[in-house]
């Protein structure tokens, strides 16, 4: 699929209008992945309020914060949306923990990436099956790696076009919009968590630290991606 075609379709469009245009151009072929982060909540609100033909899904790694599960329930109730849920392969996670232990991801980057692959990457591949467009809440300023991305890009790994409607938004813009529209968000954001993932791999960020420093904080900064948004093989 040609990314230029998607760019032409959505040229000059933002927010709800952008999503409506994509959903109408690719009926039943557009999916949105939410991890219930503050950016994702904005996109969920657009989909839910406008009853857009976009299937929402999430990856339940089995190690999420209790606050994330609470928000999950509130989101379904607020926007009356169905959120398809994908879990890790039971045999794979059992084998990994039996061989390496429950906290092996702290011991090496390879172990951590193996854990991410089982809990996130493989379920993601199942979630994206049959879709042509993948909507995400990615923003450019979230990490150095994401500055090099584009708001519309081809994902070679998953053979899908990715669209990031909030790519050029700042964190202040996100917070202001959420406040203005009274969008429910994870209470951990008010406790120093700008980015929220699995509980064992996420901590609050101290003043002056990088946005992503709370994720896999024991690793070198340049390695802090789980692989969900790697677009080349």
Predicted local distance difference test score (pLDDT) of residue 140: 87
- With a cut of 90, say whether residue 207 has pLDDT above it: no
Model pLDDT, residue 189: 93
Q: Find how far residue 90's CA is from the centre of its chain.
A: 22
Going across the sheet that includes 160-163, the strands are 83-86, 55-59, 30-33, 133-135, 160-163, 152-155
Predicted confidence at residue 143, as pLDDT, reads 61
Helix (H) or strand (E) holding 189: none
| CATH number of the domain to which 53 belongs | 3.40.50.620
| Domain limits for position 33 | 3-223
Q: What is the pLDDT of residue 201?
A: 93
- Calculate the CA dihedral of residues 120, 124, 126, 128 and round it to 10 degrees: 180
Contact 165, 45 (CB under 8 A): no
Catalytic one among 115, 198, 201, 226? 226
Total domains, the chain: 1
Identify whether the C-beta of residue 109 lies closer than 8 Å to the C-beta of residue 6: no
Residue 231 lies in a domain: no
CA 73 to CA 90: how far, in whole Å?
A: 24
Give the pLDDT confidence score for residue 222 in this predicted structure. Answer: 53
Q: What is the mean pLDDT of residues 31-48?
A: 97
Report in angstroms the alpha-carbon separations of 131 from 29, 41, 88, 98. Answer: 5, 21, 20, 34
Is 115 noted as a catalytic residue in this protein? no
The answer to whether position 41 is within a domain reads yes
Q: Which pLDDT value is given to residue 45?
A: 98
233 in a structural domain? no
């Amino acid at each position: 699929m040609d990314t230029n075609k998607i760019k032409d379709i959505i040229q000059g469009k933002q927010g709800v209008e952008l999503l409506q245009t994509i959903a109408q151009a690719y009926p039943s072929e557009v999916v949105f992945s939410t991890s219930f982060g503050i950016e994702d909540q904005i996109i969920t609100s657009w989909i839910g309020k406008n009853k857009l033909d976009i299937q929402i899904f999430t990856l339940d790694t089995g190690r999420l914060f209790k606050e994330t599960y609470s928000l999950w329930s509130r989101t379904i109730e607020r926007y009356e949306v169905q959120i398809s849920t994908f879990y890790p392969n039971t045999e794979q996670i059992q084998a990994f923990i039996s061989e390496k232990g429950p906290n092996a991801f702290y011991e090496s980057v390879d172990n951590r990436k193996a854990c991410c692959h089982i809990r996130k990457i493989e379920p993601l591949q199942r979630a994206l099956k049959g879709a042509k467009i993948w909507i995400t809440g990615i923003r450019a300023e979230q990490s150095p790696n994401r500055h090099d991305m584009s708001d519309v890009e081809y994902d070679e790994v998953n053979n899908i076009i990715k669209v990031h409607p909030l790519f050029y938004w700042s964190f202040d813009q996100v917070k202001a919009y959420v406040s203005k529209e009274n969008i429910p968000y994870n209470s951990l954001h008010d406790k120093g968590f700008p980015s929220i993932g699995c509980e064992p791999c996420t901590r609050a960020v101290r003043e002056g630290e990088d946005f992503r420093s709370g994720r896999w904080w024991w690793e070198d900064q340049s390695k802090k991606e789980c692989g969900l948004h790697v677009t080349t093989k």
